Structure 1
Amino acid sequence: MEFKQAVQQAVMRCVRDKYADFSGRAGRAEFWYFMLAWFVVSAILGILHLHLLNMLLNLGLLIPGLAAGTRRLHDVNKSGWWQLVGLIPVVGFLLIVYWMAQPGTGPNAFGEVPVDIDDAAAMPPGAV
């Protein structure tokens, strides 16, 4: 799977298919590609000084972003409420990034292993 297709699939899954779905699990590729796309579009709108449009984008993606984060934490066998740790300056942010980067556990209390974008095929050459 190509990088572009992986990003499109992750964005469509988070925005169209699971907009406010806080149950289940999300793999690393789904979460990180969605966040990457959100960051890039937001940065471009900021550079172009389209602040109102940027604000509307961020408001519209807040719920799917929180839902994707919750599902990602479920994949590492943690409650979605752990996202609140990210409010702690520096340490909380680093802890959340660490958890989000961890590979998912096997079947856990939040469900079976997610059917995800192929992590290995979506990664750049040489990445683990």
Structure 2
Amino acid sequence: MKHYFTVLRKYASVEGRASRAEYWNFLLFNYTVSVILATVEARMHPNFIVITYAVATLLPGLAVGMRRMHDVGKYGIYFLIPLYNLILACFAGTKGPNVYGLNPKP
């Protein structure tokens, strides 16, 4: 949960690096909240809750994805290549500092 709020605090910042834990915990928590909201909203007529949440977390999701690409030593734009970004997101980041900043893992 702390990773989720860390990502939200860095809202649209693509500077630096994001660890695997930060990236995957954000995605897991984001998906869980989306499913819960969709379940609650299924009993209601207006479909604005899930859409509002998705729009609100779109920029933080893109930013953490780009920071994750920085952690593996790639340009952030690689996040937009569907299968390749998934493969890269599973690998450990570059040990020590790289051109994008210090290692996010202590």
TM over 0.5: yes
Say what the alpha-carbon RMSD is for the aligned residues: 1.3
From 113, 123, 127, the equivalent of 2:103 is 113
Moved more, 43-52 or 104-113: 43-52
Post-superposition, which runs of at least 4 consecutive aligned residues in structure 1 deviate over 3 A? none
Residue 76 of structure 1 aligns with an amino acid whose one-letter code is: V
How far apart, in 2, do the equivalents of 1:66 and 1:112 lie?
A: 20
Tell me by how many angstroms 1:23 deviates.
0.6
- 2:3 aligned with 1:14, yes or no? no
Alignment of 1:1-128 (within 5 A): 8-16=1-9, 18-48=10-40, 49=42, 51-86=47-82, 92=83, 95-106=84-95, 107-115=97-105
State the TM-score, normalizing by the size of structure 1.
0.74
Structure 1 gap segments, 5+ residues each: 1-7, 87-91, 117-128
3-state SS, counterpart of residue 12 of structure 1: helix
Structure 2 length-normalised TM: 0.88
* Percent identical residues: 37
For the residue of structure 2 that corresponds to 1:23, the secondary structure is: coil
